[in-house]
Chains A and B, each alone.
Chain A
Amino acid sequence: MRTSAHLRIGDQPWVKWSLITLALSLVTLLLLVPLFAIFAQAFSGGLESYIANVTDRFTLHAIGLTLFVAALTVPINLVFGVFLAWLVTRFEFPGRKLLITLIDIPFAVSPVVAGLLYLLLYGSNGWIGSRLMDHDIQLMFSWPGILMVTVFVTCPFVARELIPLMQQQGKEEEEAGVTLGASGWQLFRRITLPNIQWALIYGVVLTNARAVGEFGAVSVVSGNIRGETNTLPLHVELLYQDYNVVGAFASSSLLAGIALLTLFVKSFVEWRQARQRHALNEEEI
């Protein structure tokens, strides 16, 4: 395809390599060293104590609960994010900008306050909570409460990833599709999805990462019952309070590990897609 030497800016070797070097040093200082510090602490007691900490009954329960909440949060916010992005980038209507702003509320609210909002509304003295209580339904201090605040805290990510991209791409292609007689679903699958898939995956990855790592909001509505409503980040805090620094960092390393795993999956999907496209191109030739 692009074979000539200088068609895109910043391609000269000296620019390229000095920028890469600068970026890599920053990544090392800002991300890699802190990450390394976590693992160094986690393994400071040796492999055996690491394994003992990670396979502790309560740690395993915390892992299960955290993954479970994330597994529910991601699809909820995925569906919502796609619909919202479609709405605000494909249609003009009054209140559109307000809607885009509203979706950012969770970023503007301190997580502790977010937790408090839900607690005051759904707690046993709350406007909704007291009514639910009459039917013996308790949302707070059990996993539904944790799920609710996690959805709240992470709901902007997918939409936020999609909106600028879909805005930038414009709606011409989809409109062309409509003139050619495509149905709504076909339109989305054939035209929109291929264009936004990377942003979509980023959104999912961010949602998942944040859902797994959320602390402030969850700590307010969890009740901190060990072996029942203790998520992994709360477990880290608890171990830290117990002077079990090694255990706390061992659990933290799991969280970092989950994040890296998600990212690895993303990279793999990306690679597969690229190969598929490549194969298709060759067939056409």
Chain B
Amino acid sequence: MKTFKKAKSIVAAIVLGLGVSQVQASDQSLLNSSYDIARELFASYNEHFAQYWQEKTGQTVEIRQSHGGSSRQAQAIIEGLRADVVTFNQVTDIDILHQRGKLVPADWREQLPNASSPYYSTMAYLVREGNPKNIQNWDDLAHEDVSSVFPNPKTSGNGRYTYLAAYGYAQQAFPEDQDAIDSFVRTFLNRVAVFDTGGRGATTTFVERGIGDVLITFESEVNNILAEFPDQNFEVVVPKVSFLAEFPVAVVERHAQRNGNLELARAYLEELYSEDAQRLLAGFNYRVHNEVVQQEFSEQFPEVELLTIEQIAGSWDSAMEVHFASGGKLDQLQRR
């Protein structure tokens, strides 16, 4: 350990040599492990929280951020990354923290309001200028002349949600007719032009490579893209029926306790539900639960019927087993 410290001071020396100071000393520090596209969101929230915490306790706090694919992040925590809190975009990635190492309690979804999901989103479409293929709902995506882009459901939660949304739509459109449901979803999957491994890759494919008539991703992302590429005149379409995409959070109790951060970690997540934080989240185009903020942003978020995982597949566990496991429904529908 000693030699590491010594070498670490060499790193510090190199860094100092380049004219930067190491992270400044704070009273407390907290590690937030999060999904890949949430860096700016949490950079902004961390500022808010640090201020709130100082006003409340008089202590300064430094929030360190780790971002990556949600499943990869969970894997790192299981293997020893000492994150105090997780803010993910997939329920199953927090479940695995309980199953593989009892790092979070079994009832983590009951620890915080709204099933521990302080904000949520849904799957929406980004179409090219003027919506030339007139894409309004899921059935339009099965048309022969439509080609769509969304990330691979096998590698990305984003893609999984899109698959489930289409499946849920088909369940409504063809009640009790499994063959019709399967055939619709199969056609829908056949219309995909490119399967990127992550959401950002799919965005690049659609926006910069010019592939596909429609990009399907989180509503929050669709709005971000719209703001990032104003000259392309994309249009947002929110289908009438879509999937409730939750963004679950949890305290990694085992680690937080060990780091002496339990109280701080809980406060960090609870503060996400405060009106100010909810406003901040809505500013990043996420849907929130706070009614006052909902009112303020009502124009930004059109009404949509949100299907839950319980309605579509019973539970996440059974969804993973029936649909996404090797040889499951998704594999069958993609078979040629």
**Residues in chain A within 8 A of chain B (CB atoms):** 57, 60-61, 63-65, 67-68, 72, 119-120, 123-126, 129, 133, 135-138, 140-144, 219-220, 223-228, 238, 240-243
Contacts and interface: CB of A to CB of B under 8 A. Distances in A.
Given A225-B66, A238-B67, A64 B80 contact: no
Given A60-B20, A129-B80, A241 B39 contact: yes
B176 interface: no
Contacts of A223: 66, 76, 81
State the main secondary structure of chain B at its contact with A.
helix
Nearest to B8: A143
Contacts of A226: 39, 64-67
Contacts of B14: 64, 67-68
Contacts of B80: 123-125, 129, 133, 138, 140-141
Contacts of B11: 64-65, 68, 143
B180 interface: no
Given A138-B80, A223-B76, A242 B18 contact: no
The 10 closest A-B pairs by CB, nearest first: A123-B79, A124-B80, A64-B15, A64-B14, A60-B20, A223-B81, A141-B81, A225-B66, A224-B68, A241-B36
Contacts of B1: 135-137
B231 interface: no
Contact of A60 (B18, B36, B65, B72): B18
Contact of B31 (A219, A225, A240): A225
B323 interface: no
B101 A227 contact: no
Interface in B24-45: 31, 36-37, 39-40
Contacts of B19: 60
6 contacts: A119-B76, A125-B78, A141-B82, A223-B66, A224-B68, A241-B36
A60 to B, nearest CB: 5
Given A64-B11, A219-B72, A241-B39, 7 more contacts: A63-B18, A65-B11, A68-B14, A123-B80, A138-B82, A142-B4, A220-B76
Contacts of A129: 79-80
Contacts of A67: 14
Interface of B: 1, 4, 7-8, 10-11, 14-15, 17-20, 23, 31, 36-37, 39-40, 64-68, 72-73, 75-76, 78-82, 101, 200, 224, 228
Contacts of B17: 64
Contacts of B4: 142-144
A143 B7 CA distance: 10
* Most A-side CB within 10 Å, residue of B8, B20, B101: B20
A241 B37 contact: yes
A217 to B, nearest CB: 13
A201 B75 CA distance: 38
B115 to A, nearest CB: 26
B79 A125 contact: yes
A23 to B, nearest CB: 30
B57 to A, nearest CB: 24
A227 B23 contact: yes
A5 B47 CA distance: 74
Nearest to A227: B23
* Most A-side CB within 10 Å, residue of B1, B39, B66, B80: B80
B248 to A, nearest CB: 19
B101 A125 contact: yes
A126 B79 contact: yes
B42 to A, nearest CB: 10
A175 B225 CA distance: 68
Contacts of B72: 219-220
Contacts of A133: 80
Contacts of A138: 80, 82
A224 B67 CA distance: 6
A64 B14 CA distance: 6
Contacts of A240: 200
A64 B81 CA distance: 22
Contacts of B67: 224, 226, 238, 241
B200 A140 contact: no
Contacts of B81: 140-141, 223
Contacts of A137: 1
A149 to B, nearest CB: 13
B15 A219 contact: no
B50 to A, nearest CB: 15
A228 B64 contact: yes
Given A141-B80, A144-B4, A219 B68 contact: yes
Contacts of B76: 119, 141, 220, 223-224
Nearest to A129: B80
B79 A60 contact: no
B215 to A, nearest CB: 14
A47 B11 CA distance: 29
Contacts of A228: 23, 64
A142 B81 CA distance: 9
B65 to A, nearest CB: 5
B62 to A, nearest CB: 10
A141 B33 CA distance: 12
Nearest to A147: B7
Contacts of A144: 4
B45 to A, nearest CB: 15
A227 B79 contact: no
Contacts of B8: 143
B282 to A, nearest CB: 19
Contacts of B82: 138, 141
Contacts of B23: 227-228
B66 A227 contact: no
